[in-house]
Structure 1
Amino acid sequence: GLELPGLTYAEPAYARALDWLLCDGLQRLGYPDGGSLYLRLSTRQLDQKPFELASERLGTEQLRMDVLAGGYRLVEPSDAADLVIAASGPVVSEALEAALALEDEGVNVLVLDVTSSDRLYRGWRSEIRDAARHARISEEPHQLANLLSTSERHLPIVTVHDAASHHLSWMGSVFGARTVPIGVDQFGQSGSIHDLYGVFDLLPEQIVNAAFVALAS
């Protein structure tokens, strides 16, 4: 049902991002061209500190605009980035742990929190569709272009999501970057979060291994 026309999917990892998306979704219901918002949420408790640090760095209003546009820079690399990790939902926590481990190995990681893959994709799709229709490049860059500097756009990307692995894998095609997608491609298992994440390569050490695969090519 996520591909139904007029339905926008969002999966915020942090409480304030949820607040912003929910309020924005309710407001859009009153627009002539508005639609419905599908929120995929979790009862898992997450440390909110990374989001607060991002708010301090970016400013509350800029962060809010980025969240509503589909994603934002959650953690900056310690130096020029070597790799991008794009994660969505509660598995952002594992992505952050993996980024720290990679930094210890000398790999500088930019972590993106994808709050709405729908909005992120539609922004890119709208730009290339309009460019094809009118034979000109849009002056307004899509959100992913806003999030990645020119030097970062061709870096390897590891996408991390506790849903279908293909859900975020399109991100590498935007700028032609090598992509290693991690996600859930089988169903029916039961167990603890740790056990299930281990089955689907979503644990921090497994994300680190995927990052080295991306960097090796």
Structure 2
Amino acid sequence: MGIQERKTRHKEDLRKRILEAAKKLFVTAGYEATSIRKIAQEIEFSPTTIYLYYKDKSDIIYALHQEGFSMLRQDFQPLMEVESPFERLKAIGKCYLRFGLKHPDFYEVMFMMKDPMHYLQIHCVDGAWEEGERVFDFLLQTVRDCQEVGYFKGLDTVQVAVQAWSSVHGLCSLYVSGHLRNMMEVILNNDEQEAMVEKAFRVFVHYLESTK
């Protein structure tokens, strides 16, 4: 390995450490309570080092936002080969749930924290949100394909897509926030959250099947 390659690898490793430390602090302490200095302390570097990579903490949280959406798009990629539109729609929902359960910290940054959206409003021209738009466009096209084979008759495509997204998001957010576990322990004397999420998703799919 040459000198330049080692330098490049070192920079990427440090960038990943900064993002991982920031993600941990954003989720556990909150965005407002997290400072560049605290992130630097977490990785045992000076704040000056972090400023070599990111201009401020809003830049960091948006970088995390982009990374999370890149991961989600990669998970969605194989689903593009699913020929049946309705099976593809179910697979999108399952994949989305699996992502939320597997990466709750990323999910919180991507879909539950308002701070990356503030960054978009300030820095992105005409409110462009490329990473999010790609994910939603895939869902939207799948709903459109479902309508072509008889599902969701007479319903607006965008409204169906938003309803499907919000329903599955609700399950994920209940899981990530801990509200689902608390409810299950108090009311059902059961803490098997993932099993409950799966069962609730099957009920949602049953509802979708009835639309044809």
TM bracket (short chain): 0.3 to 0.5
| Bigger fraction of residues in strand | 1
Q: TM-score, normalised by structure 1?
A: 0.37
Bigger Rg, which one: 2
Higher helix share goes to which structure? 2
TM-score under structure 2 length normalisation:
0.38
